[in-house]
Amino acid sequence: MKLTPIEGGMAVPADTAAADLLVARCLAAAAQGDAMAYFDLGVAFSTGDHEVACDLVEAHKWFNLAALNGHEEAAVCRADIAEEMTAREIAEAQRRAREWLNAEERSAA
């Protein structure tokens, strides 16, 4: 399988199955609180990389979680995409980020 490096040390797989696996690995790392995984998911959803549909609400959510965990570039990316979003979309992204954090807290307990 041919891989192309991208920012954050992740790689872009040449086929869809590998892209699904890469996103699944990012989600698993995100479930462990990995700020880089949060950021990589934000990039994927904001650009449509890794065979995911471009979704600014999801991208904002992941950038928000990354920023909350100290990823400085994520805060900049979150602000950039927020300029293209409505207030309602931003509120939805924030709600989803809170849900993710609440689910993490429940699973840690």
Considering only CA atoms, which of 44, 51, 16 is closest in space to residue 61?
44
Rounded CA gap, 87 and 72, in Å? 23
Give the pLDDT confidence of 79-101 residue by residue, as tens digits: 999 999 999 999 999 999 999 99
Rounded CA gap, 7 and 88, in Å? 30
Burial of 60 (0-12, 13-18, 19+ CB in 10 A): buried
Considering only CA atoms, which of 18, 20, 30, 16 is closest in space to residue 8?
30
Give the pLDDT confidence of 14-67 residue by residue, as tens digits: 457 767 787 889 889 998 889 999 999 999 999 988 778 899 999 999 999 999
